[in-house]
A and B are shown apart, each in its own frame.
Chain A
Amino acid sequence: MSDTPTIRLAGRDWPVPVLAPRQNRIVVPTLLELIPKIGSARAGEPHSLAGLARYLDTAAYDQLTDIAFAALTRAHPGLSRAEFDDFPIDTLELIAAVRTIALQAGLMRGPVRE
């Protein structure tokens, strides 16, 4: 079984290997902007979708999709953005994916796995 961590998007598990510069040049700066917003959202109303919606505006949502798409292209370089934008992706799935993506980007010193 592969050791590569996965994220769940559109009901599928997607492997996210350690990211490369091609992805990190998008993922790292975006995450550095996004993580404080997610932190505020979680601190404000941890279990409320309405609270999330207040903090995660359209720009933040776009940032979430940008990093998720970039992360997916590490293992699936042929995935197109148009195809990704039509996936039925739950917002909570996107938020849940952030931790794995941050780890695989190397923003946190965790047990990074191929």
Chain B
Amino acid sequence: MRDPTISIAGRTWRVPLLAPRQNRIVLPALMKPAADIACLLDMVFAAMTRACPHLDRDEFEDLPIPFHELLDAIPVIAQQTGFLVSAKAETRTNGPPDFDALIAEFCNYLPGTTPDYWEDALTAPRLAAMREQWRRHPPLAVLAAAWLRYRPRPRDEDALAELLRLFPNGQLRLN
């Protein structure tokens, strides 16, 4: 399938599905109620680096880019985030996903992969497909944790959760 394109500085630029490296910049910019031109420029530059990772910011700053080209690029970039399609209303209301947590999850369940790899590989459709696959066929680590009734130790600051972990029925067992 061919990637959609945007026209910037009179040239056509491919915009493949964005990865966390771009979505970390693009999604917050798209969700701002009143985005300014600085945001718009950051967003367009980030999107362009998906297909042209070596594009230099200084070079971009000197490209002859009429403002309307930036505006025209927004719908394509929004679509290529993969998180702003109509079905993902959750993203619109809750803000961008926690990409660090998602990448940690992928590295945990797919040993041998690295955060740097997923930073450039975790597109929204791939995330949805993996989540669906794990729903139907949970990773071994998840099954083992369920079998062992593993409950994660709460963080130090979460005293209430620690109490619930120690006394899951709410009853204090006295010997």
Interface residues of A (CB under 8 A from B): 17-22, 24-25, 28-29, 104-107, 109, 112, 114
Contacts and interface: CB of A to CB of B under 8 A. Distances in A.
Question: Which of A25, A28, A29, A106 has its CB near the most chain B CB atoms (within 10 A)?
Answer: A106
Residues of B contacting A: mostly:
helix
A20 B63 contact: yes
Contacts of A114: 64
A18 B62 contact: no
Contacts of B68: 106-107, 109
A20 B64 contact: yes
Contacts of A112: 66
A92 B133 CA distance: 67
A24 B8 CA distance: 14
29 contacts: A17-B64, A18-B66, A19-B65, A19-B66, A20-B61, A20-B62, A20-B64, A21-B41, A21-B60, A21-B61, A21-B62, A21-B63, A21-B65, A22-B61, A22-B62, A24-B41, A24-B67, A25-B37, A25-B41, A28-B37, A28-B67, A29-B36, A29-B37, A105-B67, A106-B68, A106-B69, A107-B67, A109-B68, A114-B64
A30 to B, nearest CB: 10
Interface string B35-76: 011100100000000000000000011111111111000000
A68 B61 CA distance: 18
Interface residues of B, number: 15
Contacts of B65: 18-21, 24, 106
A104 B65 CA distance: 9
Given A24-B41, A25-B38, 17 more contacts: A17-B64, A19-B65, A20-B63, A21-B60, A21-B61, A21-B62, A21-B63, A21-B65, A22-B61, A22-B62, A29-B36, A104-B66, A106-B65, A106-B67, A106-B70, A109-B68, A114-B64
